[in-house]
Amino acid sequence: MIFNELFEFIIFILPCYVANAAPVAFNKIIPMKTPIDMGRKFIDGRRILGDGKTIEGFTTGVCVGTFVGIILTLLGHHQILTSLILAFGAMLGDALGSFIKRRLGVPRGKPLPLIDQLTFVVVALILCNVITNVPLMYYIYSLVITPPLHLGSNYVAYLLRLKKVPW
């Protein structure tokens, strides 16, 4: 029973996870150079988001995450609008995580446990509630599964030289 639900959750959340991973996976092919904050600073004198959040990365995440959602929809396992919101929410949450990091004085690329691993998925799920009812268990699965999966996949990206740091 729980495995069925867990499997359904993984399929559901896939556009969100894929969106979050896409900027790293594609950064050798697509140059990610235009910061979303355009280099601007917040009232605390630090960058609003920093150079790690680019327009190209954001767009790649939304497109690749939604693309996976379209494939899953064609296979009868997702809905295009839901996957678009999950992918967009992932990139929005990722940017929110960077905003929080900068406000706390954590420089771009340095780790901030839990914020790095969870803001993207939590924002994606909350945003998703606007159009569909997200089961409470999905939040619980997200909080449990995402941190190890995020750390593991970032480590693989580091081994593949797609990332300079293993987190």
Tell me the two tokens of residue 113.
Answer: 């446990």
- Of 49-78, which residues contact ligand CTP (CB under 6 A)? 50, 52-54, 57-58
Choices 20-28, 64-72, 80-88, 145-153 (CB under 6 A): range interacting with ligand CTP: 20-28
Going by C-alpha positions, the residue among 163, 49, 167 that lies closest to residue 117 is 167
Q: What's the chain's length in residues? A: 167
Per the rule left: phi > 0, alpha: psi between -120 and 50, beta: everything else, 61 is: alpha
Nearer to ligand CTP (CB atom), residue 46 or residue 108: 108
CA dist 121 and 132 (Å) reads 16
Instruction: Please give the single-letter amino acid code of residue 126.
Output: I
**Site track for ligand CTP across 75-104, x = CB under 6 A:** ----------------x--x---x--x---
- Of 103-122, which residues contact ligand CTP (CB under 6 A)? 108-109
- Report whether 54 contacts 33 (CB < 8 A): yes
Nearer to ligand CTP (CB atom), residue 20 or residue 134: 20
Nearer to ligand CTP (CB atom), residue 92 or residue 134: 92
Identify the DSSP state of 90: H
**Which position among 32, 48, 96, 127 is part of the footprint of ligand CTP (CB under 6 A)?**
32
- Report whether 147 contacts 118 (CB < 8 A): yes
Nearer to ligand CTP (CB atom), residue 78 or residue 101: 101
- Report whether 84 contacts 72 (CB < 8 A): no
Choices 24-32, 67-75, 81-89, 144-152 (CB under 6 A): range interacting with ligand CTP: 24-32
Tell me the two tokens of residue 89.
Answer: 């929410």
Number of residues that bind ligand CTP (CB under 6 A): 16
Q: Where do contacts with ligand CTP occur on this chain (CB under 6 A)?
A: 23-24, 27, 32, 50, 52-54, 57-58, 91, 94, 98, 101, 108-109
